Amino acid sequence: MRVFVTGATGFIGSAIVKELIEAGHQVLGLTRSDSGANALIAAGAEVHHGTLGDLESLRSGTAMCDGVIHTAFIHDFSKFQENCETDRRVIQAIGSVLAGSDRPLIVTSGTGLGSPAPGELAVEGHVPTSKTTHHPRIASEEAAAEVAAQGVNVSIMRLPPSVHDKGDKGFMSILIGIARKTGVSAYIGEGVNRWPAVHRLDAAHLYRLALEKDIAGTYHAVGDTGIPTRDIAEVIGRHLNVPTVSISPEEAASHFGWFAGFFGADVPASAKLTEERLGWQSTHSGLIADLEQGHYFGG
């Protein structure tokens, strides 16, 4: 297949590009920069210049391919809701080209959308609505449902809060940065709230399986179902040689800033149906084992 990949030079997208090419697929990767174009060429992919704001570039890239994997997202969490609405428009634009065809579209969302209620295990079969959740990322899943109703062969890939591996600049790196700055590695309350996680290479493999097996549905890229945040904080504290401490929920905002809401969430997630439908299993290291390797700390 010739596959259009958005976010092709990103942390997850670059792993997907490598996974696809090694499996014999051709990749057309979206990039907005010359350095991104060079990285795609070095990986063996073709280059398509454009941005998430340029909907025509997304339509034209889609038109040239047999399927689309959409991983690009603007990771400015100070404008999270605005960026989720941008994602809605992107999915709508891509879907407008694929409507009425068999060509698969895989869009990206978060496992938090699969939880029926706070603290309950997120499952693939849970369909959120704007009445049941205030999570801004519901825009992506609403857009997926909208284009599905127009005849698009669409699947949803939900990712956990931590997709980890060398080069991760996401939530783990943010948490480590806060610990370095404050001199303590903190968790909130008793630290029993849980975070799911997946290794980047396991996630990339799952995207390929979903594309190739072409069974439309919602999937969870989850290796660790739910790691207590205290366990995460303890590993960070040990590697940075700073105290691991509990802070109260009232202190969380001043300590973590905008990140408090994310790190304080209890969001365990299951991949049981994903494993059954696609025959996928996580085979790489879990989050704690990955943190212990030291590369997050300059080791």
Cβ density class 18-52: b for 16+ within 10 Å, e for less: bbbeeeebebbbbbbeeebbebbeebebbbbebbb
Helix (H) or strand (E) holding 270: none
pLDDT for the residue numbered 78:
80
DSSP 8-state secondary structure symbol assigned to residue 257: G
Spacing of C-alpha 158 from chain mean position: 7
Please list the ranges in the chain whose pLDDT falls under 70: 299
Q: What is the C-alpha separation between 124 and 6, in angstroms, rounded? A: 23
pLDDT for the residue numbered 299:
56
Enumerate the domain spans of the chain: 2-162+198-223, 166-196+225-270+285-297
Architecture of domain 2-162+198-223: 3-Layer(aba) Sandwich (3.40)
The CATH number for 166-196+225-270+285-297, chosen from 1.10.260, 3.40.1360, 3.30.70, 3.90.25, is 3.90.25
pTM of the model: 0.96
